[in-house]
A and B are shown apart, each in its own frame.
Chain A
Amino acid sequence: MKLDRRQFLATGLAGGATALLGGGLARAQAEALRIGALTPLTGGGAVYGTTMSRTYTLLADEINKVGGVAGKPIQLFTEDTQTNPDAGVRGARKLVDVNRVHAIMGTWSSAVTLAVAPIAVQARIPQFCVSSSPVISTFKDDDFLYRTAYSQAVISAVYATTAQSLGFKTAALLILNNPYGIGLGDSFPDRFAKVGGKVTGKVIYNPNQSSYRSEIQQALAGKPDVILFGGYTPDGIQVFKEWFQLGLGGTWMGPGFAFDQKFIQGIGAQAAEGIVVVEGAPNLAATAYKNADKLFRAAHNQDADFFAAMAYDHLMVVSLSVLAGKGDTSGDAIKGQIRKVSNPPGKVVGTWAEAAPLIRTGEKVNYEGASSSCDFDENGDVQTDFGVYRIKSGKWALDRVIKFGELKTS
C-alpha cells in the first residue's frame, strides 16, 4: 500500500465525514440523558476505572429497562483518560463537544480531575470525581465539581483520631510524592497536634526507587509509636519489607487500598499482624450498596468495591437530579437538584426502584449512597464514615467505626 497525497486527502475526508455523521447521530438522539464516563481504562488507574466504567453500564441498563429517566434513556459515552491529564483533556473535549454529554463522571487521579474540571465548568455541566486532593474542594468550579471520595484533609483527621484512640503519642509519615501523599503530609501534623500527638518525622519518597532504606531510617529517627503510610500497594510492600529487615519498632497505619490482600500476601500474614487499616468503607448497610453489589456480582462475579460503589452513586445522583428536575438535562438544572435529592431531609432511598416513584409524586427524597451517605457540602464534598481495622491472621478485623460527625475537621 502506498498512499499518495490525493489518496491521503480522500481518506482524511472520509474520516471527517464519518466523524460528522457521528455528531449528527448524537444530535438525532437529543432526547436521551447523555452521560460521559471518563475513567482511566488504561494506565496506572486502569483497575479502578474499569470497575467504574462497568458499574455505569450496569446501572444505566437497570434504569433504562424501566423506562429511563423521565422518559429519557441514559446514553453512556465512555472515554479513556489513560490516567494521563493530556489524554483526559482530549477525551473530555470529545465528550463535551461531540457527544454533548450532560454530565461527566469518573475522573480518577487528581491531576486528571483538575485538568478536566475547567472544561466541565466552561460547558456548565457537573463533573463527579473520585480524587482526593484537597485542592478539589477549593477549586473555583462554580459548584460544578463533585466528589464521592474523601478529601485528604478529612482522612488526616481520621488518622489523627484513630491514632489517639489507640494510644499513640508520636507518629512518623512515610508518604508518596503525589497529590494524595502530599495532601496527607500537609494536613496530618496539625490534626495530630490538635489531639495531643506529635509528628517526629516526615519523609516524602518518590515511586520506583530500588531501595527506600535511607528514607525509612530518616523518617523513623525519632522512634515514633505509629508509622503513617501514604502510598500504594506496590511501593508499600517494598517499604514495609525494608522496614521489617531494619528491625525498627512502631505500628503501621494506612489506607485500605494500600493494605489490601495483595499487600498482606506480599509481606506475609505474620508480619502484617496488628497493622491499622483505615478505610472509607462502602456504605454496606444501605440499599444502594446492596443493589450495586447485586448488579456487579451478577455481571462480573465479584463484590462491588469502593470504586464500584462510588460510580453507582455518580450515576444515581445525576439520574435522580434529572428526574427531580422533570427531565431538564441542562447542567444548571442538574446542579440545582443534586443537593435536594441527596441531602437530608427527605425519605431515605438507595435504588432507582425506591426513589423514582417518590420523586414522581413530588416527595422529597434523601439519597443514601453506596459509597457514603452522599450528602454534598458547599464544596461538593461528601461526608464519609470510616472503618478502623486491625490486621489479624491475614484479614482485616473491624476495630471501630468513626462517624464523620466525630471528627474535629474545623
Chain B
Amino acid sequence: MTEYLIALATIVGIQVLLTLGLNFHYGITGLVNFGHVAFYALGAYASALLTLAGVPFLVAMGAGVGVAVLASLLLGTATLRLGEDYFAILTLGFSEFVRLLLLNARELTRGALGIPGIPRPWRGLGGVPDHIMYLGLVLIAVGVAFALCEVLARSPLGRTLRAIRDDEQAAMALGKDVLRFRLTSLGWGAGLAAVAGSLWAHYVTYVVPDQFTPEITFYTWMAMIIGGPGSTRGALWGTAILVAVLEGTRFAKDVMPMIDEPRLAALRQVAIGLGLILMTVYVRKLGGRSRPRVAPATVSG
C-alpha cells in the first residue's frame, strides 16, 4: 500500500505541474488553451530522446522545456492575435498536430512503437529506494514551481496578466503590449508542462504518442476548475481530488458485490464522470481566490 501511495503522490505531483501551467494560461491570463498536452508531449519526447542519447537528465529536461517554450512562442505568435474562441480551437488543433508529428516522424521518435527503456535519473543513489527518490525529485519540482507561480502571480507581471485577463482594452489603453505579455504567459505555462512531461517520461520509462491525447488536456482543465482557476493552491487541491476520483473508484469497485468485471469497469467510467461533475459543482474553488467576474467593457457605437 505504501508503494501505491508513493506512486499516486508521484502521479499527482506530475499532474500538479501540468495544472499549474494551465492555471497560468487560463486562470491568470485568461488564455483558453485546449492544447496543453502538446507542451507536455514535447517535454517528454525531447527529454527522453536526449537522455537516451547520453545527455544528463537535468540538461535533457532543460532542453525539453526549451523546445516546449519555443513551440509555444511560435504557436502564440501565429494565433494570439485571434479572438478567444479561435485561439482555443487552434490550440486543440496544435496538440493533435504535435501528436501526429510524433506518430509520423518515425526516424526520430520511432512513431507508434514508442520509446522504451528511458532511464530514471540517479537510480540507487545513496541507497534510497528508487520510487522514494523519484517522489522526492517530483516534490522538489512541484515546490519550486509552486513558489515560482506564487511569486509570479504577485509580481508586476502577474498583475498585468490579470489585468489583461479582466479587461484587455483597459490594459492596452494603459500602454501594455498585450501580445507580448500573453506570449510570456504562454511560455511560462508551456515550460511547466514540459517539466511535467519530462518527469512523466522518466517515471514510466516509456513514451508513445498514444499517451498524449487531448484527454490529458481536459483532465487538467478539470483539475484546475475544481481547484478554482486563478488560484495556485487550488491547482494542488484540484489535482489531488481529480486523481482521488480517478483512482478511488478502483477501490469502490473492489468492495462491490460480485458483478461481472467488464460491466463493473463500465460502471466505473460512469462513476468517474459523475464524481468529477459533483466535485466541480460542489467542491470547486477550494483555493479560495477565483477569477473575478467583470462586466465586459462595452463600446457604444
Contact surface of A with B, Cβ cutoff 8 Å: 1-3, 5, 8, 12, 15, 18-20, 22-23, 37, 41-42, 46, 49-50, 53-54, 57, 77-80, 82, 84-86, 89-91, 93-94, 96-98, 109-111, 114-115, 117-118, 122, 133, 135, 139-140, 177-179, 181-183, 206
Contact = CB atoms under 8 A, between A and B. Distances in A.
Contacts of B271: none
Contacts of A79: 250
Interface string B174-209: 000000000000000000000000000000111010
A118 B201 CA distance: 12
B113 A179 contact: yes
Nearest to B205: A118
B106 A22 contact: no
Nearest to B252: A18
Interface core residue of A84, A86, A89, A109 (most chain B CB under 10 Å): A86
Given A18-B251, A18-B255, A41-B261, A140 B117 contact: yes
B7 A178 contact: no
A91 B250 contact: yes
Contact of A139 (B11, B116, B208): B116
10 contacts: A2-B282, A8-B286, A37-B261, A85-B210, A86-B204, A109-B210, A111-B208, A139-B117, A177-B104, A179-B112
A50 B213 CA distance: 24
B262 A54 contact: yes
Contacts of A18: 251, 255
B3 to A, nearest CB: 4
B49 interface: no
Contacts of A5: 286
Given A22-B254, A177-B111, A182-B112, A93 B266 contact: no
B121 interface: no
Given A46-B262, A111-B211, 5 more contacts: A18-B255, A19-B1, A118-B116, A135-B113, A179-B112
Interface residues of B, number: 46
Contact of A42 (B4, B104, B265): B265
B266 A182 contact: no
B75 interface: no
A93 B4 contact: yes
Interface in B99-148: 100, 103-104, 106, 111-114, 116-117, 130
Contacts of B268: 80
B70 interface: no
Interface in B75-116: 100, 103-104, 106, 111-114, 116
> Main SS of the interface on chain B?
helix
A203 to B, nearest CB: 13
Contact of A19 (B3, B111, B251): B251
B111 A182 contact: yes
Contacts of B261: 37, 41, 53-54, 57, 78
A322 to B, nearest CB: 22
Interface core residue of B114, B251, B261, B286 (most chain A CB under 10 Å): B261
B246 interface: yes
A80 B210 CA distance: 16
A8 B262 contact: no
A183 B248 CA distance: 37
A90 B244 CA distance: 12
A15 B117 contact: no
A42 B215 CA distance: 15
A16 B1 CA distance: 11
Given A22-B251, A182-B113, A97 B7 contact: yes
Given A19-B1, A23-B1, A49-B262, A114 B206 contact: yes
A251 B244 CA distance: 53
Contact of A84 (B210, B251, B260): B210
Given A22-B255, A80-B265, A115 B4 contact: no
